[in-house]
Amino acid sequence: MRSAMLLGMTLLLSAIPTTTVRAQHSDSSEEEALALDALTVVAHRQPRSLSEVAGTVTVIGASRIEQELAFDVRDLVRYEPGVEVDGGGTRFGAGGFRIRGVGGNRTAVVVDGVPLSNRFAVGNYADSGRGLLELGLVERVELLRGPASTLYGSKALGGVVSLNLLDAEDLLYGEDQAMRYELAGSSADDRWRSTAALAARRGDVSGLLAATHQQARQIEVAARPVTVPEDRLDRTQQSVLLRLAGDFDAGRLRLSFDALRDERDSDLRALLGQGRFRTTTELFGDDRNERWRLLLDQDLAPGPVWERGQWRLWHQVSDIRQDSFEARPLARTPVDLFRRFDFRETSQGAAIDLETSFDLFGLDQRLGYGMELIRSDLRQSRDALETVIATGESRPVVLGEHFPLRDFPLTELTEFGAYLHDEIRLWRGGPTLSPGLRFEYYELDSQGDPVYEQAFPDTPLTDLDSTAWTPKLGLVWPLGSGAEVFAQYARGFRSPPFSDVNIGLDIPQFGIRAIPNPDLEPERGRTLEAGVRWRGASTRLDLAVFRNQYQDFISTRALVGVDPDGILLFQSINRDRVRIEGAELRARQQIGDDFGLSLAAEWMRGEDQSDGRSLPDLSPPQAIVSLDYTPSPVWRFLLAGTFTRDQRRLLDEAGDPLFAAPASAVFDLLGQWSPWPDLSISAGLFNIDDRQTWTHANVLGRPADDPTLPLLADPGRHARLMLRWLH
């Protein structure tokens, strides 16, 4: 199956163009991309041209998602140096985005303006992930690099990823009815995905119904040693989106419902017979992740004190259940083990963003202001059962832990933020100064219950409340001829997560215990960034340098000592200072009418200033060079090379070596054919020479001798195909 798919797509890519029909509604022209100054919303919470932003923003539209054959969030940032997606091993899904080396719930992910839940993980058996959407229903993505707490609160210490789902207007193009169908496949994991969307308009009312279904298996990595068994995975995912919108005098009012269900059945083999699994012969996972959301929002017509604005109300539920089945016939007493992890987060929120323009003291100003209130309820539990194979006797005790139990108490979170953000043009055609300020309030309320108190009777519950003011100051100075320089100073803030404040974990058989930290301080960050942008008739250049300084960085479950009984104690603690600095470069040169050459590169270095240790969180320097060829509006080809430097020696907090990926060079060939105005076919051959490479965030923190490392490599040589039909 995989070989046939590879052969078919390779032949398609090598085909010779035979038609010159122009595809409608296409924004793939690179000349247009050079001439237009793309709009972004994420940087100011209101539409702005990229040239007006004092910072670094990347906008990824639907056409780029299609052309680059991006099926999931990892594919989305394939050609974005400095942005990665944390991995969840061979069993679990994506953990979240890592921007400029900062991840671990420190990057805000918002969908249609609504923040997604945080990630929570416990050992090898439980990982909630971030519930990231499959890209079949995503129409647009914006990446904001660097602290954005002034506009997005404590979740945005590292940056913001904003995803916008498909809307009826994205299909209708002024028509009364439209349909889009998409079929996509990848030989890397035997993935097939089908997406259907129907939009209609009657007068001032429009509606959308869209759904996606996909199936996939484990990733076929390059150069897997025959001595390393392959972990098996069967994955099924469905998502649905419904929207109903109406145009009124007060503005466009929209009601949306979206839901996602992700099911994974895994057969984990690589760990068997090693370490703590030396007596284990079978380990299976049965995981389910369900998320649904109801959203009511409105784009406001101009009012008495605003020119534009939007408000939104939402209710969101994330429900996760992960079951593990383990056979230990080689143990001193042969047993079967069953483990269950449940995690549920329910949140309600309200937010409003407004903007008005005025003249004060002869200075043109655009003032943005708004507020956001979120209330979340978190509930987590673990259960387990140990069954003696010889007798069939079962008991709820595994490794000395008595079940059921909770790793943290029932928790209520309240988050409130209010912000002001001004843009002051100092003189006509001159620089724009953009000061901003946010007030943030965070409250964590722990609620005792019999399950938690029985497991940890001597552990006091900790409540927490904190406030912060996060200022920002930006400057954009036009130089003329399509060039401008920019600079910004911003402060970031991150409240201590619930799982770090009130963690409770005690495994007597392993001699480890995690204890709460009621004195945990919020993380704080300061960033300085400066850059230059230039857009010519056929050339574009973007250069940015940055320096981020973090204080009280939270190290989750760090080893803090040994108690009198010899038990290793772990606790989330604040690190004194962490520094990250780097540079990013983007350049593009149009060569004649048909060719274009692009470069994207990043370099970073970081240090834990308390001990001088290099930060293992940072990805190695990387450059992506691509050559595109567009002989006609019907055909487009892209050859991309990704060059990554080898990593320096990495050490964990105890001084033990971590895995450091070697240098690599990977080449991809992509093509797109649009034989008719409503049909496009995209195909790609990736990792052409079948090299073994690793994405840094997928192996972050792994010991150098981790037996699963070969399975965490990037996909080997594989092909992808996507067919999209508009009607």
Residues comprising the chain, all counted: 727
3-state SS, one letter per residue, for 572-627: EEEEEEEEEEEEEEEEEEEECCCEEEEEEEEEEEEEECCCCEECCCCCCCEEEEEE
| Global pTM value | 0.92
DSSP strand pairing (114-115 vs 523-535): unpaired
- pLDDT band at residue 371, thresholds of 50, 70 and 90? very high
Between the CA of residue 601 and those of 79, 368, 584, 586, 687, what are the distances in Å?
10, 33, 6, 7, 19
Domains in the chain, start-ordered, CATH in brackets?
2-726 (2.40.170.20)
User: Which of 5-19, 584-598, 653-667 has the highest average model confidence (pLDDT)?
Assistant: 584-598
566 Cβ contact list (under 8 Å, min separation 6): 511
Positive or negative: CA dihedral 22, 28, 33, 38: positive
DSSP strand pairing (251-267 vs 121-122): unpaired
- What is the pLDDT, as a whole number, of residue 134? 67
User: Quick check: 557 pLDDT over 60?
Assistant: yes
- pLDDT band at residue 535, thresholds of 50, 70 and 90? very high
Q: For 630-656, how does the pLDDT look when each residue is reduced to its tens digit (9 = 90+)?
A: 999 999 999 999 999 998 888 887 788
Taking the mean position of all CA atoms in its chain, how far away is CA 10?
A: 31
* Residue 724 identity (one-letter amino acid): R
Q: For 687-711, how does the pLDDT look when each residue is reduced to its tens digit (9 = 90+)?
A: 999 999 999 999 998 999 999 999 9
Between the CA of residue 727 and those of 24, 170, 242, 682, what are the distances in Å?
12, 13, 19, 18
Q: For 385-402, how does the pLDDT look when each residue is reduced to its tens digit (9 = 90+)?
A: 999 999 999 999 998 889
Dist. CA 333–CA 72, nearest whole Å: 44
- What is the pLDDT, as a whole number, of residue 9? 41
- pLDDT band at residue 125, thresholds of 50, 70 and 90? confident
Dist. CA 473–CA 637, nearest whole Å: 42
CA-based nearest residue to 418, from 160, 46, 153: 153
Q: For 207-252, how does the pLDDT look when each residue is reduced to its tens digit (9 = 90+)?
A: 999 999 999 999 999 999 999 999 999 999 999 999 999 999 999 9
